[in-house]
Amino acid sequence: MSAIRCTMAQAVVRIQADLGNRRTVLASAFDVPERHGRSGWRCSFIDETVPRKAPTGGNPMIKGSDLLVRALENEGVERIFGVPGEENLDVVESLRSSRIELVVTRHEQSAAFMAATYGRLTGKPGVCLTTLGPGALNLTTGAAYAHLGAMPMVMITGQKAIMSSRQARFQIVDMIAAMRPLTKMTRQIVSPASIPTIIRDAFRFAMEERPGPVHLELPEDVAGEETPDIGLVPRHPIEIPVANQAALDRAAGMILKAERPLIMLGAAASRPHATAGLAGFVRRTGIPFFTTQMGKGTVPSGSNLYMGTAALSERDYVHGAIDRADLIIAIGHDTVEKPPFIMGPKGPQVIHVSYTPANVEQVYFPHAEVVGDVGPSLELLADRIEGRLPNAAALLPLRDEILNHVTDRATEERFPPTPQRIVHDVRQVIPEDGIVALDNGMYKIWFARNYRTRVANTLLLDNALATMGAGLPSAMMAALLHPKRRVLAVCGDGGFMMNSQEMETAVRLKLNLVVLILEDGAYGMIRWKQAVDNFADWGLTFGNPDFVKYAEAYGARGWRVASTDALIPTLEAAFTAGGVHLVSVPIDYSENTRVLVDELRSRVPAAVSVIATEVRPGNHQ
């Protein structure tokens, strides 16, 4: 007879059940914060079960891992990224005969970044797989990356047997507790019979607004246990209601009264299913717009209504328009992003339009909300105001001045090239649908300000967790999804080396991918902040390998740019040749001080501190 002890608040529940000729448990240990209004169950088995006898009739038997893989196939999973361990071997064997490709990475963190980026680009959860303990813990940065960035993902980790403890507590870490603050849901599977329901619920929950990561722990004995073959749970569409009519009427009234309206497009506006209705709203209203860093591309910046990107929180040139606006329509703003502007008592009114209600913050407290499916809700809002906005373009005369300042000195020929010149040259070789994936460093500010996007999700940057090490894996995922598009990873030398081992994975997968490394031999953003704050230049520099030889050691092609005018032809040659290429170029970061401090000093005295908090010392470049 088997018994489990579960703690829920102060209650102790003992569950015994009989399934066929073997006594087993039907419970699942789980933790879903606030979702079901309870704190969650934590279960531990007291003794072993009686071995199952052969069935005398009824459904045929199926192994838990086979049922898991069938459930994943039912969800449309095509690839799983990960580093399997001993506790995953039943799952690996089940995958061997499935339609799902197992993509082995060289570090679990990279597997999570790739799965999260799959979710970001498709709207469907990416899946990653690791063993217990040390392997599972390596997913935590990727989990936070997906959680803050609203990227749907399902993480499956192994665990020691829960029916017995022949290895005591060797390698055992409470991953349910570890993943609780980093996920939407974390759950241990304790019965193979529950797998179809749990997988369906995990995928649904990961995709629901606000999207994010879900963690499932599968102990090795549950994966290997047989259970009667049960049916899979069919998928169903996730429908989001449109906004309430009263909310639409209230927002329409505010817009009609505005004298200097402005639209802001934020992170949630770049959901794969959301972008279609946004361009129509901008076109129908004629109101100029700006974007947050993660909102770039939601409406083509080639539009004559584009005012710029708020790469800083205040008083950059685009803030010349923001500060003059009396109403900002914030579409898809998520406060996980570094604030694109600072609200105050004398600032503009703000209408929050998104899938979920606003998070009220010290710097963001909207005056009205339009909550619902963004695209259809914006269509209904446009119906109420189209053709009735005589002041729609009031701020448009500021556009040329803003964009001219941002693109200043973008073609300077000095060597090493400036950030502006690098952004300019990258834009020349990347077509409209080409994808640039950024790691995190000082260059991210420059790409956010200067890189013009024309298609949604073609500039992949992280303005939420802002972790280093994600640039290469996210670019690899983009190249896997879009093998016929040009895909470029842009990394600092610090961030690249954090997951540079995935060059082998990229070569093994035969990707068409170019990696551009910006060399300054330091954790450049923090070093710059160090200098601006008059600290000694100490503790932030390092040496680099010969990146050309480093690429060649992995079977890739390496290039070194020796003059500014050689960057474009080098990138063109790499893309034309196909395969995996690494291009190394030095960068002159003296422009950081000239533009982002001296030039903006009269506009924002606190500019330096605003920029420098983009990356935290010790974690980012």
Please write the tens of the pLDDT for every residue from 354-392.
999 999 999 999 999 999 999 999 999 999 999 999 999
Residue 167: what pLDDT? 74
pLDDT tops 80 at residue 158:
yes
Question: CA 446, CA 293: separation in Å to the nearest integer?
Answer: 11
pLDDT value for 621: 36
pLDDT at 57: 56
CATH number for the region 60-228 comes to 3.40.50.970
pLDDT at 149 over 50: yes
Structure tokens at 39: 């704190």
Q: Do domains 60-228 and 245-401 have the same CATH topology?
A: yes
Alpha helices in 386-470 (DSSP H): 399-406, 419-429, 442-450
Instruction: Give percent above pLDDT 90 in the chain.
Output: 73
Higher pLDDT, 278 or 381: 381
Cα diameter, the chain: 84
Percent of the chain exceeding pLDDT 70 equals 86
**What pLDDT, on the 0 to 100 scale, is given for residue 34?**
37
Q: Which of 271-285, 478-492, 527-541 has the lowest mean pLDDT?
A: 271-285
Nearest-5° Cα angle at 194, 189 to 198 = 70
Sign of CA dihedral 132, 133, 138, 142: positive
The alpha helices in 126-244, defined as continuous H runs, are 133-137, 140-149, 175-179, 195-207, 220-224
Strand ranges across the sheet with 349-354:
306-309, 289-291, 261-265, 327-331, 349-354, 368-371
DSSP 130: E
Architecture per CATH, 245-401: 3-Layer(aba) Sandwich (3.40)
Helices (H), 30-128: 64-74, 89-96, 108-122
Q: From CA 87, how far away is CA 133, in angstroms rounded?
A: 11
Which of 587, 405, 435 shows the shortest CA–CA distance to 511? 435
Q: Tell whether the model's pLDDT for residue 1 goes beyond 90.
A: no
Write out pLDDT tens, residues 552-573: 999 999 999 999 999 999 999 9
- How many alpha carbons lie under 13 Å from residue 363 in its C-beta half-sphere? 12
Architecture field, domain 407-612? 3-Layer(aba) Sandwich (3.40)
- What is the rounded CA–CA span in Å between residue 289 and residue 262? 6
Bigger pLDDT: 128 vs 48: 128
Pull the structure tokens for residue 103.
């993509």
How is residue 10 written in tokens? 């102060």
Q: What does the domain layout of the chain look like in residue ranges?
A: 60-228, 245-401, 407-612
Q: Which neighbouring-strand residues pair with 79?
A: 101
Please, which pLDDT band fits residue 609 given cuts at 50, 70 and 90? very low
CA-to-CA dists, residue 452 to 300, 406, 458, angstroms? 8, 11, 10
Residue 222 pLDDT grade (very low, low, confident, very high; cuts 50, 70, 90) = very high
Q: Give yes or no for a contact between 119 and 126, defined as CB atoms under 8 angstroms apart.
A: yes
Ranges 211-215, 275-279, 301-305, most confident: 211-215
Instruction: Identify the pLDDT of residue 615.
Output: 37
Closest-CA residue to 430 (of 324, 513, 347) = 513
Least confident of 283-287, 454-458, 501-505: 454-458
Q: Return the number of other C-beta atoms located less than 10 Å from residue 29's C-beta.
A: 20
Is the pLDDT at 398 greater than 80? The verdict is yes
Average pLDDT rounded to a whole number, residues 469-495: 98
For residue 273, the 8-state DSSP code is T
The mean pLDDT value of the chain amounts to: 87
Cβ atoms 591, 420 nearer than 8 A: yes
Confidence band of 182 (pLDDT split at 50, 70, 90): very high
The pLDDT of residue 297: 84
